[in-house]
Amino acid sequence: MKREQRAEIVLKRLGELYPQTPIPLDHGDTYTLLIAVLLSAQCTDKMVNRVTPSLWKLADNPYDMSKQKVDNIRAIIQPCGLSPQKSKAILELSKILVTKHDGKVPESFEHLEELPGVGHKTASVVMSQGFGHPAFPVDTHIHRLAQRWGLTNGRSVEQTERDLKKLFPEASWNQLHLQIIFYGREHCTARGCDGMTCGICRELYPKRRTPIITKK
């Protein structure tokens, strides 16, 4: 089976399983989405959603957040991990949004990736889920599953993103990346599937007998 054929099966199966793809991070606007995505680095969405209501009570916009003390932000977000770095990034990016962007989250990859704590993956989530621009954020779930499904060689997250963008229609990217994440959490987990267990893995590789060791 060719890579393009496997991609067609993946697109069809995920569409059947997840016709609706609600954004897993609770937020009210692009600013709170940006902060929530930043907090989700090496942290579960569930924990982020547990922490952010308290953070929004402290400040839910860049103007108010830029006036806070970093220790106060850190105390709230500590359960998310990496709190020293994340709290500083939240404070500094809020100040930059106020001074350089009129308090608004910029609608471009270039300006988003200039913000402290915001890498390409975070910018991609904000561009796709916040602004509706086509993007294909690749997290660990997507990177792992793309390898198991033979959609990429897995050499790097960047390569996986390029490969997936070539395989799938641009109009599908924003929903598809969420569908893959949902499927990875529910069916094709890091420990629960080795490339031979879940439904999609079995359909794509019915004769596979050797577990797939994914590359980071």
Mark out the alpha helices in 18-116 (DSSP H runs): 30-39, 45-58, 62-65, 70-77, 83-100, 109-112
Catalytic residue check, 139: yes
Buried-exposed string 80-106: b where 16+ CB fall within 10 A, e elsewhere:
bebbeebbebbbebbbbbbeeeeeebb
For residue 8, give both structure tokens.
């067609």
> Do 45 and 25 meet the contact criterion of CB atoms below 8 Å apart?
yes
- Given the residues 26, 60, 139, 194, select the one marked as catalytic: 139
29: which DSSP letter? S
C-alpha–C-alpha distance, residues 140 and 85, integer Å = 21
Is 163 catalytic? The answer is no
Report, as residue numbers or ranges, the catalytic residues: 121, 139
